[in-house]
Structure 1
Amino acid sequence: MTGRLHRWTTLVVLAALLWAGCDALVNDEKFDKSPNLATEAPPEQILTGALVGSILLQDGHLARLSGVWTHQFTGSDRQFLAYNEYRVSADDFTNMWNLAYQDIIGQTRLIRAEATETNNRLLRGIATITEALAAGTLTALFGDIPFSQAAQPEQYPNPAFDPQPQVYEAIQQMLGEAIADLQSGAGISPGSRDIFFGADADKWIKVAHTLRARYYLHTGDYAQALQHAQMGIDAPDGSGDLIAPHGSSLYNDANPFYLFVEIERSGYMTAENAFAPSLLDPTSSIYRGNAKTDESARFAFYYAGENGDYVLNTADGAFAIDADFPIVTYVENQLIIAEAALLANGDFNTALAALNNARAALDQKFGPGAYQPYEATDFDAGGIANPQGESRNRALLREILEEKYLSLIGNIEAFNDARRTDNFIGIPIRTGNRFPQRFLYALSELNANENAPNPPPGVFEPTTVNAGDYPGLSLQ
């Protein structure tokens, strides 16, 4: 329930609660009753807990389900067979919903309040971005959500559900304020308590701009998305990326994908006959490679297997026990520039340059020579990047969105992109004739909050910002 609020005091407790791959460990009542759990903690320590919670929100259950629904993974056994057919229940989302509100939004609001009292603008800025990321994830996936009244149980025991566009507006305002806070230079650094950047204000500022660009993309404001992405993460080597750090200690800092696939639910989730590995596999009939694109190294990084019998690479690739997880990256930022430039003002050259910037970064990781720069003529009808014979602009947009889909394997944003673009790149629908449009409101919220929607929207009902047509569909 969104009104409930917790304050964790040690990273040991947080690790036990949040790093475990099994969502059942996120059990607030169990920890409510712990005699060892204090009720107060320094804001810097609370920040660490909120950041740890943010990691699990981004690479835990919501990411796995997003990957299954976007055909990056395949639900192969038990409840994941149902997920593979878009069959979910409200209780499937209770743990992650509670995690977002209790352990991220609730905690960041405590930090922000205390940081305001001490004029610690650096700490407040980091906490504000962390909260904005959680709220942006929630509203993108669920639509209208409790936000302005959330985490205030005494005043709002039944917080209202704010309309999705208003939540996005509030997030944009928060991110603008966070940037101003970080630019001020005021405050005491939380140092290593910031497990992402060690309180490097410049890196956080660029992440904030990329998040602003991401959320303007969600709401269809391509001019603003372009403006902020051009101020966003700008280090091609990934040094400015927001990356979840993982290690080799099970149930402490291990990659949640590894825990789920190898330890807790072996066989539940594979990539059998999935769309993403089929695009990357050089032996596949729909392989996307061409004279300037060699996907063999990227395929091996994410997947193993052949002839459609694909699994996630948990040995030495993206889902290994100690593999770090990208949350907000330079490559995403460049691809936002590319799409936004094309849709805001038809700027083909800026879009192509940004796509090539993303390809150059990928070449550093999977090359050399795997991703050579495209030329404008490659997108002419019949060119190597336009075998379908579409208009040049549409072919470039298709390449941008397909590249983003494959650059965000395992990232929730791939599901957000598929819905907001009306599935422009043609991700196969697993069952029926409709692509899923949202996650279901958590059962805990439906049961406890009198203001919860009744009846709640279903999986195939678009959220407000995705209800209209994607302008890329009419691009000439």
Structure 2
Amino acid sequence: MKFKNKLYTILGAGILLTASACESFLDVNENPNNPEDAPISGLMTNSTYETALNVQRIGSATSNYVQYLASPNPATSSDTMDPVNFSGTWFSLYNVMTDVNEIIRKAEESGANHYLGAGQILMALNLGMTVDIFGDVPFSESFNFETVTPAYDSDEQLYQQVLSLLDQGIANLQGETAISIGADDFIFGGDIDKWIRFGNSLKARFLLHTKETSGYNANEVLAAVSAGFQSNEDDAAVTFFEQRFNPWAQVAINNSNLLLGGWISEQFVQALDGTSYPTVDPRLPLMIGTTDEGEFIGTVNGAGRGDAPEQGARSTLIPGQFYTSTTSPLLIATYAELKFIEAEAALASDPARAYAAYLAGIEAHMDMLGVSEEDKAAYLADESVSVGAESLTMDEIMKEKWVAMFLHPETWNDARRFDYGYKDMTLPENLNPELNGNYIRRLAYPDSEVSRNGNNVPNVTLLDRIWWDQ
């Protein structure tokens, strides 16, 4: 990135705002009538950076549910879909939204419409991610410092808020501004055209979530797609640097030092090695490591390492690959994802458009990973992939999107919409008995929220569905 050097100089001023100039309702020991102030530029730096980390934080949990990852230890809570305390993730989401709320307030006061638009898009994304994993959450009373026990808002109503924020953000980015965004933006470096395309791409994502509801309109999704990302160059991502590792790189490094994490699910390996599908996917060696014997062998979700307990006997994330280099980008939203959104939205009405988008999504992900032209052409020509427009089904689209969204939390939204219908995907061993033989549908509200705001926390189980999961 051209602005990378500038990021180093503002890192301390921006990222160290994680403690945040204007703490959320969660920080009940702070005086809400005397908040510290912070410049809008520093808030933007922190918010763009921490938004990417929020994507990874959620993905580190949901990657077990969609069987990208598996625990090397049997019956581990995250692997067997037990209730897990995600208080840290909850705090991180609300801390970003608190900072973004300040960006929006300051931008409105100063006429900084581009900051306002970017802030509204960041708010929509973080709020949408929060709703997607928890359902009803506090929002309308969360940032006014008038209560430490805010009421919960309906997940369906909050989705309308998400879509409204995206529309407002896109409109504000298209107008004049008193202050321009620059290197304080860790995602696009102040490129407003890319912010506009990002807003439209997110709009397509969140609209697609509502596919099983009465308000869904495929044409609205496709209109947002057309105004969204145009190539991999538009991808929304935060690129890391030597002083601050990509967190997936840290997982891989830790694993190589016997701090176990990042073990690959058998389901993922077998989907790409020719077991579940007829062709071997050339992306496999670019995404995960082999065993000490040079083989790709996954770990059974819920069962642990089984009869191969030694380090090196199962595939893991390894340092230095696309997702796990210390300077690898954290992907927030990508062109590849958008093409699969287009394929799904167009499938019923325009099979030719859907098929072209499906192939483009595969190609975009392969280009991202650096697959050779020869290997890419061979894979795309394989009859199990090159099925033709009239034969394309949701199964092919969802399988390829599942591969292209490796480690990303959006896949859990897809899995729930798809009723976990991926080929050969099975429930983990030692499944949480409270799920009654079903897949998990939401996260439990965190212990910190139950203890602080228990009278308002909804009474739900892990089987209760988010409003769009019908």
> So what's the TM-score if we normalise by structure 2?
0.81
Structure 1 stretches of 4+ moved >4 Å: 13-19, 28-33, 264-267, 391-395
Q: Is the 8 A contact 1:248 1:254 kept in 2?
A: yes
Does 1:301 pair with 2:286?
A: yes
Match of 1:95 in 2: 88
Match of 1:64 in 2: 60
Q: Is the 8 A contact 1:225 1:340 kept in 2?
A: yes
1:40-77 alpha-carbon deviations (Å, 9 max, x no partner) = 111111111111221210112x2111111110011124
Q: Which amino acid aligns with 2:167?
A: G
Match of 1:331 in 2: 336
1:207-251 alpha-carbon deviations (Å, 9 max, x no partner) = 10010000001111233222211211112xx211001211222xx
Q: Secondary structure at the match of 2:248?
A: helix
| Deviation of the 1:286 alpha carbon | 2.2
Counterpart of 1:255 (choices 246, 254, 259) is 246
Match of 1:321 in 2: 326
Distance 1:366 1:209 in 2: 28
1:56-114 alpha-carbon deviations (Å, 9 max, x no partner) = 10112x21111111100111249x8221111133xx21111111112x11111111111
Distance 1:301 1:163 in 2: 42
Match of 2:428 in 1: 430
Q: Is the 8 A contact 1:300 1:313 kept in 2?
A: no
Kindly report which structure 2 residues correspond to 1:15-34, keeping only aligned pairs within 5 A, or say none.
15=15
Distance 1:119 1:234 in 2: 30
Match of 1:384 in 2: 384
Q: 1:125 to 1:266 in 2, by over 3 A?
A: farther
Distance 2:115 2:165 in 1: 14
Q: Which amino acid aligns with 1:463?
A: I
Q: Which amino acid aligns with 1:217?
A: L
Q: 1:386 to 1:126 in 2, by over 3 A?
A: closer
1:253-301 alpha-carbon deviations (Å, 9 max, x no partner) = 21112223423894432334431222223xx522452xxxx622x1112
Q: 1:288 to 1:366 in 2, by over 3 A?
A: farther
Q: Which amino acid aligns with 1:241?
A: D
Does 1:460 pair with 2:449?
A: no
Match of 2:181 in 1: 190
Corresponding residue pairs, total: 418
Q: Is the 8 A contact 1:304 1:312 kept in 2?
A: yes
Q: Secondary structure at the match of 2:237?
A: strand
The answer to which of 314-323 and 266-275 deviates more is 266-275
Counterpart of 1:233 (choices 226, 229, 232) is 229
Distance 2:251 2:83 in 1: 18
Q: 1:258 to 1:31 in 2, by over 3 A?
A: farther
Q: Secondary structure at the match of 1:401?
A: helix
1:147-202 alpha-carbon deviations (Å, 9 max, x no partner) = 22222222x43222111111111111110010110011323112100111121111
Identity of aligned residues (%): 23
Kindly report which structure 2 residues correspond to 1:410-425, keeping only aligned pairs within 5 A, or say none.
410-425=407-422
Match of 2:119 in 1: 127
Does 1:351 pair with 2:348?
A: no
Q: 1:31 to 1:279 in 2, by over 3 A?
A: farther
Q: Which amino acid aligns with 2:56?
A: D
Q: Is the 8 A contact 1:105 1:131 kept in 2?
A: yes
Q: Secondary structure at the match of 2:331?
A: strand
Tell me the C-alpha RMSD between the 2 structures. 2.9
Match of 1:118 in 2: 110
Does 1:84 pair with 2:79?
A: yes
Q: Is the 8 A contact 1:261 1:267 kept in 2?
A: no
Q: 1:269 to 1:363 in 2, by over 3 A?
A: closer
Q: 1:58 to 1:213 in 2, by over 3 A?
A: same
Q: Secondary structure at the match of 2:415?
A: helix
Match of 1:50 in 2: 47
Q: 1:288 to 1:98 in 2, by over 3 A?
A: farther
Distance 1:372 1:352 in 2: 16
Q: Secondary structure at the match of 1:74?
A: coil
Gapped regions of structure 2 (runs ≥ 5): 1-9, 20-25, 291-295, 299-313, 432-436
Distance 1:398 1:18 in 2: 41
| Deviation of the 1:386 alpha carbon | 8.8
Q: 1:288 to 1:132 in 2, by over 3 A?
A: farther
Q: Which amino acid aligns with 2:426?
A: P
Q: Which amino acid aligns with 2:66?
A: T
Gapped regions of structure 1 (runs ≥ 5): 1-9, 20-27, 469-476
Q: 1:277 to 1:268 in 2, by over 3 A?
A: same
Q: 1:45 to 1:274 in 2, by over 3 A?
A: same
Q: Which amino acid aligns with 1:440?
A: A
Match of 2:443 in 1: 439
Q: Secondary structure at the match of 1:304?
A: coil
Distance 1:17 1:258 in 2: 23
Does 1:152 pair with 2:149?
A: no
| Deviation of the 1:126 alpha carbon | 0.9
Q: 1:394 to 1:465 in 2, by over 3 A?
A: farther
| Deviation of the 1:206 alpha carbon | 0.5
Q: Is the 8 A contact 1:362 1:371 kept in 2?
A: no
Q: 1:394 to 1:143 in 2, by over 3 A?
A: farther
Q: 1:452 to 1:207 in 2, by over 3 A?
A: same
Match of 1:404 in 2: 401
Distance 2:417 2:391 in 1: 16
Q: 1:223 to 1:165 in 2, by over 3 A?
A: farther
The answer to which of 92-101 and 205-214 deviates more is 92-101
Counterpart of 1:168 (choices 144, 159, 162) is 159
Q: Is the 8 A contact 1:161 1:451 kept in 2?
A: no
Q: Which amino acid aligns with 2:42?
A: Q
Distance 2:166 2:371 in 1: 33
Q: Is the 8 A contact 1:46 1:111 kept in 2?
A: yes
Distance 1:18 1:119 in 2: 25
Distance 2:390 2:413 in 1: 22
Q: Is the 8 A contact 2:355 2:389 kept in 1?
A: no
Q: Is the 8 A contact 2:246 2:325 kept in 1?
A: yes
